[in-house]
Amino acid sequence: MVRQAFLLCAVLGLGVASAQTPPGPFTTIEGTDSLFVGGFRRNNDVRFHYTSQRYVLEYGSKRQSSSGSGLFSNVSEFLGGGFTYKFLDLDLSFSLPQTRVLETGLQNLSQFRLSGSYSSRRWTIRGYWLQSTGLVAADGEGNFISGPTVDMLSLGLPITYYFNHRRYSFRAAAFQNEVQRRSAGSFLLRIEPFYRRLGVGNSIVPPGQDVPTKYGEQAGLKYAYAPGITLQPGFGYNWTGRDGRWFVSPMVFVGGGVAVNVYKGNSGERTNVNPEWRGSAVLNIGYNGPRWYAAIRSSYEYSYFLLDPSYFRTSDLKLGLTVGYRFNYFEKFLPVSIF
């Protein structure tokens, strides 16, 4: 009897002890395979980031051959920060002041970026507003570069759908808001409505070369703006180690769409409907822990938009570091989700 009573007390004691064991660092997310995807008990964060950018803006014509030589890199260094709190997710970045002495004038390049996102289990929508002033454009043949008087405004609302949402976490790959506990991948689909406005303070092309036989109705181009939409299929994969604490997350998207281009040259304002082509590759590497995270982020984006016969081609290379700290809710008024 004493032995049976002792065993009963031991079993009860183990049950109480296990009930009092502190919870693990990850939470279960509804609609996912918990062996692959988990959440954090501290599911809000504040973050800081530094980014170095090399941006090339090429202006050419289909009536010429583009060698891609002599292209000019617009160089920027960004500092910024952001936060995620319940359904709110915002990031803000500014370029650091710098002046470059060029043959075509002083370049005081200034850039500003504001972005925000909302994610569900199957999709993420991330809007952005990017303003650049003082850009330099280069000829595709390498014959000239413009003065630092090109301004560009870009607004977009990309929506990304992930097919393997039960085992692949897009949020772990892109934002570190979740943890990818075991390696997994997914096909992705991105649709992006956008608006772009490009303004030219002085002519991009030197007067002797800015002729209709080469640039058509875009000779003497003063501005071009376009609403449009693109569709980009893609694929992403998360390689992880130590239960998701270390990760390598590449993603790639390639696709195209259409834009309604409104522009003004020497012959007046015109409107054309033209195709657009875009592609991007992203590689994030870092540590994703229950209290803090750090990620080296690299990306390359390419776009081609046609005015016919002239065109713009851009390439954007970024390398940056993001460090974030997680914290708990500090109020009970805001909803966790709005959907």
In a domain, 17, yes or no: no
Q: What is the CATH number of the domain that holds 293?
A: 2.40.128.100
| 87-96 tens-digit pLDDT | 889 999 999 9
pTM metric for this prediction = 0.88
Tell me if 220 is assigned to some domain.
yes
pLDDT band at 331 (very low <50, low <70, confident <90, very high): confident
| C-alpha span between 307 and 303 (Å, rounded) | 13
**270-326: per-residue pLDDT in tens?**
999 999 999 999 999 999 999 999 999 999 999 999 999 999 999 999 999 999 999
Residue 15 domain-assigned (yes or no): no
Cα three-residue angle 239-245-247, rounded to 5 degrees: 25
User: Looking at the domain assignment, is residue 232 inside a domain?
Assistant: yes
Res 204: pLDDT? 85
Residue linked to tokens 């390696």 = 183
Q: Is pLDDT above 50 for 74?
A: yes
pLDDT-derived band at 198 (thresholds 50, 70, 90) equals: very high
Q: Which residue has the higher pLDDT, 147 or 165?
A: 165
CA-based nearest residue to 277, from 300, 258, 251: 258
Of 143, 64, 138, the C-alpha closest to 309 is 64
User: Structurally, how many domains does the chain consist of?
Assistant: 1
Q: Classify 24 in phi/psi space as left (phi over 0), alpha (psi -120 to 50) or beta.
A: beta
Residue 8 in domain = no
Q: Is residue 56 part of a domain?
A: yes
Please report whether residue 48 resides in a domain.
yes
CA-to-CA distance for 293 and 270, rounded, in angstroms? 50
216-234 pLDDT tens trace: 999 999 999 999 999 999 9
Percentage of the chain modeled with pLDDT above 90: 69
> Whole domain around residue 232: which residue ranges?
23-327
Q: Look over the chain and give the mean of its residue pLDDT values, rounded to a whole number.
A: 88
Domain annotation covers residue 336: no
